[in-house]
Structure 1
Amino acid sequence: MTAVMQGVRVLEVAEHTFVPAASALLADWGADVIKIEHVERGDAMRGLAASGTVDIPSDVHVLFEHSNRGKRSLALDLTSPEGLDIVYKLAATADVFLTNKLPLVRTKLKVTLDDIRAQNPNIIYVRGTGQGERGPEADRGAYDYLAFWMRSGAALGATAADAAVVNGPPGPGFGDSIGALTIAGGIMGALFHRERTGEATTVDVSLLSAGLYTMGQAVALSMLTKKPWQGPPSGHRSNPLVGSYQTKDGRSLAFSCLQAGLYWGPACAAIGRPELATDPRFADHGALMANKMEASEILAAEFASRDLDEWKERLADFPGQWTVVQHTLEAAADAQSIANGYVQELENAAGVPFHLSAAPVQFNEEAHHPRRAPDFNEHAEEILGELGLDFDAVLDLKVRGIVA
């Protein structure tokens, strides 16, 4: 594996998913990530027992593993002078300081930009927030469900205009994980800039900014047309060969043939209705678009007449763009996912096997194999020993509750 971040040390004072998942990616790519956790409870994610309608199995906390794989854990009382001193000493050895603490909390804990830069003027200082570092809500926390999904326009864009309820995100940590990718990219850019110029920068990413960029094309169109972006009404089709169709066995096929006129003939052949290719209603692109609902109804009826497996065979040589609509287990077992190492198997600290989605960026055509997340305070002696503290000094810190 090409460890492009080897030799980079990241000091993380953060919890939940959005910000920790960013340093987990850097750990996948070779960085040494030291995770500072609350001295008593640890990262709040360790205590999360459910996500949405799904209980998290007790034998392996995969949500915590997703955002904390490959790190080292040290649990400190940051409100104590001794705990803060340890953070400062670690900051002096680090390339990146990463936090999701709100401005007032950073000030209270004395881990502001000025505090950390006083220990290491060359450190990259990274903040992940809900709505941004500035503005009237800078000190207001948020979750990806709110700031990324609901506030950015993504939720309404994913909801049919005639729906009674706004759709929620498609999975836990959806916006968090996209935001984490954004933070990780920002950190790598800041490190590159420092390498070239010697200047240490700050990096700021918010869930709202990540959501707005993810919705960037829709936002741009809305600003241009002065109309808010909204999902189309149920059953709407702008093109008979764009969208999904249900099969006889209740599965779905999705098509994205933007050049409908080009692919209409092959589609008619695939469904066993070649005569439709020359039907005056659909004979060219203009006619097809003028009668798109009739064409869509014909396709819907045909697709509903056969099971998915038969359609896979019939569409195998279809030159247009299509796919089976897959659930998460099928996506993980997809031949392309397996061939490219997109999902990896590993074991947690207790030896329980589980799977994680791998870092989506590969270097030198190699899939990255994530390492497990740390147990709570697992690396305390190791990290403190690197700072020069001997056994008796570490024991004293533990007895006084400064280190877990």
Structure 2
Amino acid sequence: MSDTRTGPLAGIRVVELAQWVFVPSAAAILADLGADVVRIEHPVHGDPYNALTTAGAKNGASAQSARSAQANRGKRSIGIDLRKPGGRELAYTLVREADAFLTSFRADALGRLGMSEAHLKALNPRLVYARGDAFGPEGPDSALPGYDITAFWARGGVGALVTDPDASQVARQPPSFGDRIASVGLACGVMASLLGRERGLAPEPVSSSLMAAAAWVTASEIISHDPSAGPGARVAVPPLTGSYRCAGGGWIMLNLMQSDRYWDDFCKHLGAPELRLDERFGDGPSRDAHAAELRTALEAVFARRTRDEWSAAFATFDGPWAPVQDVTELADDPQIVANGFVRPVPEIDGMRLVRAPFTVGEVADTLPRGPELGEHTETVLLDAGVEWDEIEKLKDAGVIT
């Protein structure tokens, strides 16, 4: 496998056998950092995520699926039927030269395909073997299937945490929300194992799960929950923390946890000197004692202006606040633009993708597109030393296309 990339992971070779979003997104982070990632797909069916339709919306922004490109940008795709004679051996050719192998397949399927950790480490003892799953590698439910909406949002408690107790349904999970959170952890684990290997340690296997990601993001609730309070117990939100509806339907979010530090200046920007002079709200303990009255008063004040008018009024307020934006506004937020969090894809007109949620050194001005199914089959095999006549035989046998 040739590698002409730059970045801290340049020269690292990764083989990916994964579908959907979680594990492919972890490999995309590695590709962002310069790794040469080759994803193995079925030569006919490919990754089902490529053609996914959600809630009636097509999974794409152009000829190529934008969602698939988000999870697979900068990779190379090789189509191999691992169940046909010769397919497994072809994959082994790639694994022998790889630094890391990432998979989302279930353990029993990996065993049948000859792609388990035991199979691949026997071929390549230096290989970092990484697997992402729904519920973790141990326990009675470790073999169960799961998506982020079931393992992360539902069983992981995240959905219940953000759902009003009187709601008729659990709050809607944004698409692939848990997948992308979990992917950062899996990528981090792979890089840690690679670093350990470079320092002379044996390459450690890496695992991550959607349920582990749910526990991580809800850690504050887990570690501070009082068992005697029972399930679903919630701590009241202080009036200077939380959202307030504005005129026209928008929202402003506050998080003035150090309320004495911000109170006077907050009232000035709010244009409500009567609140600053009110003895009920004179200091932190008083505001806590009259929390319901303060929240009611603030609701009335915020209802006087629109979200954008409040944003202008608070522009010089040096405290933690923000307008509540719709995700459609996010891509053009000045901070998103200034930091290049969303980048254009030059090869596909109108496509924008989101880069990894951190930077290491200089960041490219653009992001590459994702590969078409099997787009790089021949070049990957040639790079791996497979001769043309053997490639033709594999095509004739239906192992590759």
Give 1:60's aligned residue: 64
Structure 1 residue identity aligned to 2:221 = A
Give 2:377's aligned residue: 380
TM-score by length of 1: 0.93
TM-score by length of 2: 0.94
User: Does 274-283 or 3-12 show the bigger shift?
Assistant: 274-283
Give 2:110's aligned residue: 106
Mapped to 2, the partners of 1:52 and 1:188 lie a distance apart of 36
Q: Aligned to 2:351, which of 351, 354, 360?
A: 354
Give the conservation status (yes or no) of the 8 Å contact 2:245–2:302.
yes
Mapped to 1, the partners of 2:125 and 2:365 lie a distance apart of 32
Note if 1:198 corresponds to 2:201.
Answer: yes
Give 2:335's aligned residue: 336
Cα deviations across residues 116-170 of structure 1 (Å, max 9, x unaligned)?
112111100111111111222222110000111111111111112232322132x
Identity %: 35
Gaps of 5+ in 1: none
Gaps of 5+ in 2: none
Note if 1:157 corresponds to 2:161.
Answer: yes
Mapped to 1, the partners of 2:30 and 2:367 lie a distance apart of 10
Mapped to 2, the partners of 1:2 and 1:299 lie a distance apart of 52
Mapped to 1, the partners of 2:311 and 2:264 lie a distance apart of 18
Mapped to 2, the partners of 1:266 and 1:71 lie a distance apart of 51
Give the conservation status (yes or no) of the 8 Å contact 1:160–1:230.
no
Name the SS of the counterpart of 1:107 in structure 2: helix
| Deviation (angstroms), 1:333 | 1.1
Give the conservation status (yes or no) of the 8 Å contact 1:24–1:69.
yes
Structure 2 residue identity aligned to 1:25 = I
Give 1:391's aligned residue: 388
| Deviation (angstroms), 1:216 | 1.4
| Deviation (angstroms), 1:332 | 1.4
Give the conservation status (yes or no) of the 8 Å contact 2:17–2:40.
yes
Mapped to 2, the partners of 1:380 and 1:371 lie a distance apart of 18
Give 2:76's aligned residue: 72
Mapped to 1, the partners of 2:193 and 2:217 lie a distance apart of 21
Mapped to 1, the partners of 2:36 and 2:78 lie a distance apart of 13
Mapped to 2, the partners of 1:176 and 1:368 lie a distance apart of 25
Mapped to 1, the partners of 2:330 and 2:371 lie a distance apart of 27
| Deviation (angstroms), 1:229 | 6.0
Give 1:238's aligned residue: 237
Mapped to 1, the partners of 2:273 and 2:230 lie a distance apart of 41
Structure 2 residue identity aligned to 1:281 = R
Give the conservation status (yes or no) of the 8 Å contact 1:18–1:179.
yes
Give the length in aligned residue pairs.
396
Mapped to 1, the partners of 2:285 and 2:126 lie a distance apart of 61
Give 1:263's aligned residue: 262
Mapped to 2, the partners of 1:261 and 1:188 lie a distance apart of 43
Name the SS of the counterpart of 1:23 in structure 2: helix
Structure 1 residue identity aligned to 2:384 = L
Note if 1:216 corresponds to 2:219.
Answer: yes
| Deviation (angstroms), 1:226 | 4.5
Structure 2 counterparts to residues 156-175 of structure 1, below 5 A: 156-169=160-173, 171-175=174-178
Note if 1:24 corresponds to 2:28.
Answer: yes
Mapped to 1, the partners of 2:100 and 2:23 lie a distance apart of 13
Give 2:42's aligned residue: 38
Give 1:302's aligned residue: 301
Cα deviations across residues 86-134 of structure 1 (Å, max 9, x unaligned)?
1111111000011111111011001111111121111001111111112
Give the conservation status (yes or no) of the 8 Å contact 2:152–2:214.
yes
